[in-house]
Amino acid sequence: MRALTESVAWNNLQQHACAAKQQHLAALFAQDPQRFKRFSFQQGSLLLDLSKQRISIETVELLLQLAAQQELPARIEALFRGDIVNCSEQRPALHTALREPEGTVVRVDGKNIVPDIQRNLVRMKVLVDAIHSQQWRGYAGDAIDTIVCIGVGGSDLGPVMTCRALAEFAPEPAAHLKMHFVSSMDGSQLARELQKLIPERTLFIVASKSFSTIDTMANASTARAWLEKYTDAPVEVLLERHFIGISATAARMTEWGIHPEHQLEMWSWVGGRFSMWSAIGLPVALHIGYQGFLRLLEGAHQMDLHFRHSRLEQNLPVLLALTEIWNINFLGIHAHAILPYDGRLQHLPAYLEQLQMESNGKSTTRHNQSVSYRTCPVLWGEIGPNAQHAFYQLLHQGTEDVMCDFVVSARRYSHRKNDELRHQHHLAQANLLAQSRLLAFGDHALPPDAHTPAYKRYAGNQPSTTILLDQLTPETFGQLIALYEHKVFVQAMVWDINPFDQWGVEQGKVMATQLMPVLTDSSVALDAELDSSTANLVRAIRHEQKQENI
């Protein structure tokens, strides 16, 4: 098979890039008054503006040829159909099935999985109703008013992001619930919460696809020990009244002590970072209500339908993905900033870091060959206005090319009679528009002044995408996240990598397990093969620990 970089479509893009690299965004806009119309795309309540990307009509045509060459339409269909798209683990990746309405058929190994998904949703609803109606009681008969969600990675980032983003949609019955999220391995978040929590009224949700992730299991054990130390109530009662488990491995939940009726299922065909639509989303359903959770699924489903059925040239996830491929592989841009101009989207950057870097941070193709091109760039982000006071200096005047995603809603606070807050929203919007403009056009957007010293100049030409939601609702948020999920998939297909495995995170866990004994028992001899840095750091830790014990 011909390597991607030797293919006709790739070579055409490379040649095209030689000239395109010289072009400034200011010139591209000056040449084409229709640029916004040409390169902005509406789907449902979401507007994707790609006009501030360094693309032309020809660029898009060539990128679409690359997508066709990589058989993108067939691969999209294979994803939705439930083919084994995760080749290293021999699994489908069916997060889209989690958003399918009742009555749809999606088969895995010949079995329609949609009824199982619907049954699980009903079980989620039963739990949500019991907690909201205060029927769920702790061991001493008190109603639950505090939920502590324990998980990490995909079992944490999606729920925490969504709960924070959509908090204002919390229905009345959820108003009494306080939600806490605990993920850090060292126990610092949990320790802080445990000081304030009332055991009789606290419910822990332990979410882990594998139910073996050491970070999560350590936090869960600490929580369980905390309850056991607090009361003499039988441990079975504590486990039954104070823990819900969510996992793809029921046996491990049972072994840990989760009551069978309080176990929620997920499946091996849902990847961790794609799992917020499954039972992993229980905290979301508790926080914004079960109906709110269904609205979220519906929004994502609308994006699924668009992605599956639209032509490539009108397809938002495809166009977004290809534009970034242009930046990464042909313009040489290897940093990507995520900049929501909305405090509710505070956790979006962290979520997208995992979604994109764990999915596409790969250097081996699906056919086990090393790639000879760049894949996922380094991604980071922050609430945009806060980032303006932190790292925008580098974006404007540093030496790195960076592509940016700006995300904002058109309307906010409209249901409130609060002029001050509406003013603050306009302030955020004005800042977004100003920043994306200055990044794109630099000095070209400013009045000419020959005397401006170099340190006050702006080169511009930093490409950006703006995503405008009409307003932030469960539906539009579902659309937004599904847009990003599908973008990641498209990029992986073009790069011919598997976005659904994460072998790169495994070896570190094994090594940590091997190192544990030398830290917990000072009589254990250090491995003679250990490198001198690690060995001496262990010695330094042991020395400090010895001082502590004197």
Q: Assess 505 for contact with ligand F6P (CB under 6 A).
A: yes
Phi-psi region of 174 (alpha: psi -120 to 50; beta: other; left: phi over 0): alpha
Pair 376, 362: CB distance under 8 Å:
yes
3-state helix, strand, coil in the chain (%, to 5): 55, 10, 30
Q: Assess 512 for contact with ligand F6P (CB under 6 A).
A: no
Of 40-48, 207-215, 383-391, 514-522, the window that binds ligand F6P (rule: CB under 6 A) is 207-215
* Tokens standing for residue 419: 């002029």
Q: Identify which of residues 13 and 270 has a Cβ nearer to ligand F6P in the complex.
A: 270
Q: Which one-letter amino acid corresponds to residue 38?
A: R
Q: Which of 216, 219, 263, 388 binds ligand F6P (CB under 6 A)?
A: 216
In angstroms, the first-to-last Cα distance of the chain is 66
Identify the active-site residue in 200, 358, 382, 475: 358
**Shortest distance, CB of residue 509 to ligand F6P, whole angstroms?**
7
Tell me whether residue 509 is one of the annotated catalytic residues.
yes
Q: Assess 153 for contact with ligand F6P (CB under 6 A).
A: yes
Q: Kindly state the number of chain residues that form the binding site for ligand F6P, as judged by CB under 6 A.
A: 14
**Shortest distance, CB of residue 109 to ligand F6P, whole angstroms?**
22
Of 8-16, 64-72, 206-214, 287-295, the window that binds ligand F6P (rule: CB under 6 A) is 206-214
**Shortest distance, CB of residue 9 to ligand F6P, whole angstroms?**
32
Q: From start to end of 69-121, where are the E strands?
A: 107-108, 111-112
Q: Identify which of residues 20 and 207 has a Cβ nearer to ligand F6P in the complex.
A: 207
441's enclosing H/E stretch is helix 419-441
Q: Assess 198 for contact with ligand F6P (CB under 6 A).
A: no
Q: Pairing relation of β-strands 46-49 and 464-469?
A: antiparallel
Q: Which of 63, 76, 121, 152 binds ligand F6P (CB under 6 A)?
A: 152
Q: Which one-letter amino acid corresponds to residue 181?
A: F
Of 119-127, 153-161, 162-170, 477-485, the window that binds ligand F6P (rule: CB under 6 A) is 153-161
Q: Assess 209 for contact with ligand F6P (CB under 6 A).
A: yes
User: For residue 414, what are the contacts with CB-CB under 8 A and spacing of at least 6?
Assistant: 422, 471
Q: Identify which of residues 9 and 482 has a Cβ nearer to ligand F6P in the complex.
A: 482
Pair 127, 244: CB distance under 8 Å:
yes
- 401 burial (CB, 10 Å; 0-12 / 13-18 / 19+) is middle
Of 36-44, 151-159, 165-173, 511-519, the window that binds ligand F6P (rule: CB under 6 A) is 151-159
- C-alpha to C-alpha distance for 194 and 176, rounded to whole angstroms: 19
Q: Assess 442 for contact with ligand F6P (CB under 6 A).
A: no
Q: Assess 155 for contact with ligand F6P (CB under 6 A).
A: yes
**Shortest distance, CB of residue 86 to ligand F6P, whole angstroms?**
12
Q: Assess 245 for contact with ligand F6P (CB under 6 A).
A: no
Q: Identify which of residues 219 and 323 has a Cβ nearer to ligand F6P in the complex.
A: 219
Q: Which of 43, 162, 202, 208 binds ligand F6P (CB under 6 A)?
A: 208
Site for ligand F6P in 254-313 (CB under 6 A): 272-273
Q: Pairing relation of β-strands 40-43 and 46-49?
A: antiparallel
Q: Give the dihedral sign, CA 381/384/386/389.
A: positive
Q: Identify which of residues 340 and 499 has a Cβ nearer to ligand F6P in the complex.
A: 499
According to DSSP, residue 356 is labeled I
- C-alpha to C-alpha distance for 477 and 299, rounded to whole angstroms: 7
Of 141-149, 209-217, 416-424, 519-527, the window that binds ligand F6P (rule: CB under 6 A) is 209-217
Q: Assess 54 for contact with ligand F6P (CB under 6 A).
A: no
**Shortest distance, CB of residue 320 to ligand F6P, whole angstroms?**
23
- C-alpha to C-alpha distance for 324 and 43, rounded to whole angstroms: 19
**Shortest distance, CB of residue 343 to ligand F6P, whole angstroms?**
25
Identify the active-site residue in 456, 509, 543, 546: 509
Tell me whether residue 389 is one of the annotated catalytic residues.
yes
Pair 120, 265: CB distance under 8 Å:
yes
Site for ligand F6P in 342-361 (CB under 6 A): 358
Backbone angles phi, psi at 318, to 5 degrees: -65, -45
Q: Pairing relation of β-strands 202-207 and 111-112?
A: unpaired
**Shortest distance, CB of residue 482 to ligand F6P, whole angstroms?**
18
**Shortest distance, CB of residue 266 to ligand F6P, whole angstroms?**
9
Q: Assess 502 for contact with ligand F6P (CB under 6 A).
A: yes
- C-alpha to C-alpha distance for 101 and 120, rounded to whole angstroms: 13
Q: Assess 214 for contact with ligand F6P (CB under 6 A).
A: no
Identify the active-site residue in 37, 111, 389, 417: 389
The residues facing 261 across adjacent strands are none
Pair 256, 208: CB distance under 8 Å:
no
Pair 317, 112: CB distance under 8 Å:
no
Q: Assess 158 for contact with ligand F6P (CB under 6 A).
A: no
Three-state DSSP at 182 gives strand
Q: Supply the residues annotated as catalytic.
A: 358, 389, 509
- Which positions touch ligand F6P (CB under 6 A)? 152-155, 208-210, 213, 216, 272-273, 358, 502, 505
